[in-house]
Amino acid sequence: MKITRLGTHPIILPALHPSLGGNINGPSLIRVPAWVDAPLGRYYLYFAHHHGRHIRLAYADDPEGPWTLHAPGALQLQESTCLDHVASPDVHIDEASRSIRMYFHGVAFADRDATDGHEKLFGEASWWIGNQRTKVATSSDGLHFSARPEPLGASYFRVFRYGDWTYALAMPGVLYRSRDGLGSFEVGPICFGPAFRHCAVIVRDDLLHVFHTEVGHTPERILHSTIDLRPDWQHWCATSAATVLQPETAWEGATLPLKPSVRGAVYEPVRELRDPALFEEDGRLFLLYSVAGESGIAIARVDL
């Protein structure tokens, strides 16, 4: 595998707009479908603040930019059926229904002691899952979304299709599947350890490529594993992880102190890469990721 950084700086930085502040994370990139009338640009980049009041949105005519912030954002907290915040968008195009789906997470239950109990499946990771859940919203234009109230699973869904099912991989490395991708997700195996945080996924033939990060790494960096999808899904398991990208430039945090990463938001630059996301178009595969902790978003090319 070869990963090539594109450009000499991140594509999204706090200087892009005063509203961005010191916390930028969670990218998800799409090519705007041809059936969307009067799009802002050819590409929409959804991203987040760790404790955001809405899902952020930028637009451009090239994946490498320049990017312009759409200040109102996309999904608003008050529209999300969640409490406190919304974050971690994972956006997909459903051509059959001419709709755009956004998976996102937020606080789904006001009381950590009065949830649906889903977090109790995950042992030591249960505290970090807590009362937060993934939900889904749909849109016809990519700007205005209608959220569904059903909790789908744990935070940080990354969704993929295989066979007749829609699958999701989420923190802490747990798999889910659903027939329609909109609800009734079944819980499957846990393929990674409790430190598993963010991931990105893509299917090649019968192999799922998983780019992911783990809390506590020194530094937190992007890893790569694969999962053979041919067996019964309850028997899926991941290969050992290999490092594919770590902080090497100043804007990725390479000049900052080397420390183990910790859970939660970070509001100052640190020596960490987080939030991998994948985007494929015309045979080109792009990797987006959060730099210096949660200080911006960069883009790279991937040759698998």
Q: Tens digit of pLDDT per residue, the chain (304 long)?
A: 999 999 999 999 999 999 999 899 999 999 999 999 999 999 999 999 999 999 999 999 999 999 999 999 999 999 999 999 999 999 999 999 999 999 999 999 999 999 999 999 999 899 999 999 999 999 999 999 999 999 999 999 999 999 999 999 999 999 999 999 999 999 999 999 999 999 999 999 999 999 999 999 999 999 999 999 999 999 999 999 999 999 999 999 999 999 999 999 999 999 999 999 999 999 999 999 999 999 999 999 999 9
Q: Which residue has the tokens 């900052």?
A: 256
Residue 35 amino acid letter: W
CB 185 within 8 A of CB 170: no
Q: Which residue has the tokens 């991931």?
A: 199
Name the domain count of the chain: 1
| Token output for 262 | 């910790």
Question: How much is the pLDDT for 22?
Answer: 87
CA distance 170 to 176: 8
> Sign (positive/negative) of CA torsion 190, 194, 195, 198?
positive
For residue 24, CA distances in Å to 31, 266, 294 come to 21, 10, 5
Whether the ω angle into residue 66 lies within 30 degrees of 0, i.e. cis, is yes
| Token output for 128 | 């970090």
Characterise 153 by phi-psi region: left (phi > 0), alpha (psi -120 to 50), beta (else).
left
Give the residue from 36, 299, 8 showing the smallest Cα distance to 144. 36
Question: How much is the pLDDT for 291?
Answer: 99
Owning domain of residue 207: 2-303
CA distance 80 to 148: 8
3-class SS string, 241-286: CEEEECCCCHHHCCCCCCCCCCCCCCCCCCCCCEEEEEEEECCEEE
Question: How much is the pLDDT for 285?
Answer: 99
CA distance 102 to 27: 12
Question: How much is the pLDDT for 7?
Answer: 94
Identify the CATH number of the domain in which residue 234 sits.
2.115.10.20
